[in-house]
Structure 1
Amino acid sequence: MKRPHLPDLSGLLDVSWSRIFAVFLKELVQMRRDRPTFAIMIMMPVMQLVLFGFAINTDPRHLPAVVELREDTPMTRAFLASLDASSYVDIVAVARTAEEGEAALRSGNAAYLISIPEGFERRLVRGERPQILIAADASDPVAAGGALGAIERIAQSAFAPEFNGPLAYLQQAPPPYEIVVHRRYNPAGVSAFNIVPALLGVILTMTMVMITSIALTRETERGTMENLLATPVRPLEVMIGKTTPYIGVGAIQVAIVLTVAALLFRIPFTGSFLAFLVAVTLFIFANLMLGYLISTAARTQMQAMQMTFFIFLPSILLSGFMFPFAAMPGWAQAIGEALPITHFLRIVREIVLKDAGFGDILGDLWPLTLILLVLASLALLRFRRTLD
């Protein structure tokens, strides 16, 4: 019988530790030269530890509330003082009319609208069980749930000292008042109503920044960017010409997300479509400028991709997409306010769910415009300095 031919493994097992050490030193030198990649590898775990350890909190506190106060009596003042002293709600304004309170709730300036009706104390003493009406912004069910569960306990502790002496008969169960909660914009608490519109911001951030940064870095790697700059085309013209074709890609993504949200998840589009178009156009341009800025700092496509993920992680965690924005500490909110996705998420949720128009989104529209201008200026300055 013919024996099978066995491969000669002697060459594979012939290992030289000196050659291995030489390759090892060469790789260390390469790492030292590739400083951006090494810095990202070191900073990525540090950033994750800081964000997940300190910035992320699923129990939101100090949510803004507006009070529609139609009666100013000792009992109503005691209730509002206890509510404001708690860590769940901060009373930021007193609405003069119901329309003013509704506008604050719709624009996102308030998470709760607390309405105390006229004649509350008189009806309470008579045993008529008056109502305290609380309208909650339930577009984010997680953010709204914690405080709503605590308001009943806060009311009991606030009214208990008042139910003494002649009013001791009010110490009964059920309590002599009723707290009625209206969950606005998402009464059923469906998480898809909060997540799916916000996915538009996440998708545009990931694709627009990554595609732009990698595409422009590829031009630099191949040497075609220098050839382009040798022509009469100016840097500003290059920036506009290179980024505007991707607006069509963003438009296709917007159409896909809106279609799926309406047909598959049954999410209504209630606000101004014109305001939505303006906001999404500014947001796409802001992400394209961010990708362009990354391309001026990255030397290779791999570095551009790593820098994109370095930006993408805080954009997901600090924008209010996954975790309530109000539950984050002040320093994390300050970082989040500098991210274009934070303002876009608020805008798209307000327009899609809250029937918002231009007047309701101005508070986030002008910061988004300012971020776009800053990113475009930095990208242009950096581009000219590195490629001149």
Structure 2
Amino acid sequence: MAIAVIFPKVSLETDTGSIGRWLKDDGAEVAQGDALFEIDNDKAAVEVEAPASGFVAHARAAGEEVQVGEIVGHILESGEQIEAGSKPVAAPAQSADRNGAPAQPQANPASTRIVATPLARRIAAQHRIDLHGIAGSGPKGRIQKRDVLGKRSLADAPAVVSKSSWMQESGARQDGLHAAWLQREGTETLVALHGFASDHNAWRGLLAAGRPKARMLALDLPGHGRSTRTVPEDLDAICAMVEQRLAAEGIEHATIVGHSFGAAVAARLATRGLTRTDSLLLISPAGLGPEIRHQFIHGFVAARQPSSLLPWLQELVFDPGQISEAFIRSVADQRKDDSLSSALANLAERYFCDGTQTFSIRPDLERLRIPMRIVFGIQDRIIPFAHCHSLPGRVGLHAFRQCGHLPYFEQPELTLSIVDEMLALGRNDR
């Protein structure tokens, strides 16, 4: 069955975009998680991965304007076609010599040019891996991301990487955490953890204001986005999954930024210390008090249609006009996944049972001796601003006026400046 390739949202305010370039030729064989095409905007280049294994069928050309959520291609099985009149994708065939034996590929010993995807080159550069001698698994021997990761795992496995099946390769996974590099340039590392009922794409709203002074990795927490639908029993269980995902990316220390429920995970992650936290930025953090708006949690989880989602999405922000049609459509598209909606309901029951936050990060903040700040919207209608009273003395507070539960989205320039300050503090504190 054909699997649609969807043009994703790069910014929450963007309704349209275009493919900068296809990284896989029409008809090329791909594996799930391979970089499929790039989207270029004025802030960054974003690589979109193949949602399944099979053969690529382009539906839109590079440079052609498309709507967010539009189908730009398909992943097909061998011999499958999309519709009447479309060309089937043939299974790879070998030419035969006069005796009927398959012809052997002709090597070109004179050529020393390395053929590799941009993503493979960036990973190799980050980990100082020589691409010479790596056998490429892509078309015409092109070196793929998985080839470089395989080389790296052979060199680094004794040091940090567990052999859990869900961390062998970035991208979608059914039994682990999905991670996406939103920015790869920088000497510092910023790890971003989204809030409840969101995913890693939420941070693109922050990137719309500019680039942080660090490479930036965003994760999908369990029960969210493209990660496992399993609901861990407590914050420590979530942190264990995050730690292994970061180890798989070769991250030993980082500045951690978290929003809402993700901020609670970030605080516990810093306390555990397995991934060294250089500095900690918590945006609208959960876990500072028991109260949370019960009606929002249950109403937002239950909503499936744009008309029912809109009122709840508007509750997240001070200015309802900031919720764009593209934003609404992207959330509605996610809710078509019944497994996601079920996981969110289970998460709500476990961590926000009876309208109560069943966990606290205050002991974590008391123990930590690293640079820490909290950003909170004074007009937050989900978690009361009063939770910021009586914070530990080492925790700085930025109180944003005319701001709700999404400061990084509502006031991205100011938030980004604080992120950069935390990166500098973390670097100086090491």
TM-score (norm 2): 0.21
Larger radius of gyration: 1
**Relative to total residues, which structure has the larger strand share, 1 or 2?**
2
TM-score (norm 1): 0.23
**Relative to total residues, which structure has the larger helix share, 1 or 2?**
1
Higher relative contact order (CA 8 A, sep 6+): 1
